[in-house]
Amino acid sequence: MLEVLNNVSELRITVGGPDTIAKTLGYYTANDSGDGSYFWDDSSTVTDDGGSVIKASSPFPFSPFPNFPLN
């Protein structure tokens, strides 16, 4: 399932699950050059770092796609 979100704050309240992909349109606001693409990573044990790993409402974080440049 693809979730298109305006910013990282919306990603943080998204409940992820297997096959969940999230696209943020910006970091703070849409089109602020902070967009990114993330996948729900149920194997990850890393903590939220505020940028490349985002802890969401689900028990596991969203991680960036490997080799996918984040602005």
Domains of the chain by residue range: 2-64
Would you state the pLDDT for residue 27?
Answer: 95
Would you state the pLDDT for residue 59?
Answer: 72
4-50 pLDDT per residue, tens: 999 999 999 998 888 889 999 999 999 999 999 999 888 888 888 88
DSSP-assigned letters across all residues of 18-46: TT-EEEES-SSSTTSS--EEEEE-TT--P
